[in-house]
Amino acid sequence: MVVAGCGAGLGQDGKRGTPEPTATAAATASRDARADIAVSPRDGAQDVPATGPLRVSVARGTLTEVVVTSGDGLPVPGTVTPDARAWQANGPLQLATTYTVDAYAIDDRGRPAARHSDFTTLVPPHTVMGFWTPQDGSVVGTGMIVSVRFSRPIADRAAVEHGITVTADPPVPVAGHWFGDSRLDLRPAEYWRPGTRVTLTLRLRDVRAAPGVYGVQSRTVTFTIGRDQRSTVDAAAHVMTVRRDGVVLRTLPVSAGSPEHTTYNGVMVIAEKLPLTRMDSRTVGFGAAYDIPDVPHAMRLTRSGTFVHGNYWSPPTVFGTTNVSHGCIGLSDTKGGGLATPAGWFFTHSLIGDPIRVVNSHDTTVAPDNGMGGWNLTWPQWRAGSAL
C-alpha cells in the first residue's frame, strides 16, 4: 500500500479509513497512547545522504497515515508494510532539500499518536555538469555523434552513463563510449536513418559522479536527422565525390594535405560551420607557416584543426591536381566566399553531422576521439568503451 502526500489514512486493519483529525489533536491524545512512532533520519538531522533511508515505524500500534513532503511541497511516495507497522520511501531523495515528516498511528485501544520531524539532505560541496552536442532542436546529418563533456572528471562512469540515454524514433540501439574521464559519446551501430527523431535525456541530478561530486541536471534534448549526404575524398586523385541518398550529387576537385603535412584517412564528421574564420598555424603547432584572417566556407572536421574550407590564395590549377595544404581539404573559392564556387556550393549543401571519408592519403586513420572520429571503430570496439 502506497502512502504519500495527501493520501487518505489507513484504518486499524490496514484498509483505507477516515484520516485522523489534525496533527494538534492527535499530538494531544498521544500523551496517553502507548503507540511509539520513530522516524529515521532523526529530527533535525543534517547532511543526510540521498539514499536515506527514510523510514517511519511504530511500536505498540499501527500507522494510520504518513505524510512526507519536500521543501517545495512535493509529496514523497512510500510503501507501508502489510502489518501497518512501518513505512519506507520508494526511492532516493533529492540533495540539498529539507523534508518534513508527519506520521500518525493508533495503539491497540484506538488512541491516536503523532510524530512531526524534519531533516535536510546533503548539500554537495562540488557539482558536475554535462555540456552536449548537437543543439536542441537542430537538424543534423546522418553521421552525428552525441557527445557529452563534463565539467569535472567522472570517477563513477557507470552511474553517470546510466543517467544519460539516447533514444530514437524509429528505434535503434544506441551505446556509449568513454574517451577519458570527462567525455561520453553515444551513437548507433550504423549511420542514423534520415528523418529519425533523436532524444537525449540527462537525468544527472543527485547522481554521485565522484567522491563529494554530484550531478545537478535534468534535461531533455531533441534533434532530427536530415537527408543522407556522404562525401568521399580521394587524396591521391584530388577529388571529392558528394553523394545524396546514394546518388552522386557532384564531384569536386580538391587539394588535400601535402606530402609533408598529409590529411588523416578515415571518417570525419562536420562539427562546425563558419562562413568566415581566421586560421593561424601557431594554434595547431605549425609555427608561423601561415596566418589567414578570412578563410571562407570553413567546416571543422577534427578537434586538432582539420577543416574542409574554401581556398582563394592558391592558384586555381592546384585543385584536382596537387595536394598543397597543411592537412585540410581545400576547395576553390574567392576572397570573401562566393556561393557559386565549389567551396560555396559544398558549404551551402552541407549539414553539421555530415560524414566525410578520406581515402588514399599517406597518413594514419584519424583517432576516434579527434572530433567525431568514433565511426572509425567497429560496433564491438565501440561498445567495449561503455561503462555499463
* Cβ–Cβ < 8 Å for 354, 363: no
| CA neighbor of 328 nearest in space, from 241, 268, 252 | 268
- pLDDT of 143 higher than 80: yes
d(CA 117, CA 54): 11
d(CA 184, CA 177): 6
* Cβ–Cβ < 8 Å for 383, 174: no
* Cβ–Cβ < 8 Å for 176, 185: yes
Strands 329-332 and 247-255: antiparallel
The tens digit of pLDDT for each residue in 289-316 reads: 878 889 999 999 999 999 999 999 999 9
DSSP letters along 230-297, please? EEEEETTTTEEEEEETTEEEEEEEEE-B-TTSPPPBEEEE--EEEEEEEEEGGGGT-TTS-EEEEEEE
User: Which one of the listed residues 238, 297, 326, 328 is annotated catalytic?
Assistant: 328
Strands 197-203 and 164-169: antiparallel
Helix (H) or strand (E) holding 162: helix 157-162
Q: Which fold has domain 2-120?
A: Immunoglobulin-like (2.60.40)
Q: Which fold has domain 126-226?
A: Immunoglobulin-like (2.60.40)
> Measured between alpha carbons, how far is residue 312 from residues 219, 255, 327, 338, 374 in Å?
43, 12, 17, 10, 32
Where are the CATH 2.40.440.10 domain residues in the chain?
A: 229-375
**pLDDT value at residue 21:** 41
Where are the CATH 2.60.40.3710 domain residues in the chain?
A: 126-226
Does 328 participate in catalysis according to the annotation? yes
Q: Which three cell numbers stand for residue 295?
A: 578563410
The tens digit of pLDDT for each residue in 245-292 reads: 999 999 999 999 999 999 999 999 999 999 999 888 887 778 878 788
* Cβ–Cβ < 8 Å for 233, 302: no
Query: How much is the pTM?
Result: 0.76
Where are the CATH 2.60.40.3780 domain residues in the chain?
A: 2-120
**pLDDT value at residue 17:** 39
User: Which one of the listed residues 309, 326, 349, 362 is annotated catalytic?
Assistant: 309
In the three-class reduction of DSSP (H, G, I as helix; E, B as strand; rest coil), residue 22 is classed as coil
**pLDDT value at residue 10:** 43
Q: Which homologous superfamily does the CATH classification assign to the domain defined by 229-375?
A: L,D-transpeptidase catalytic domain-like (2.40.440.10)
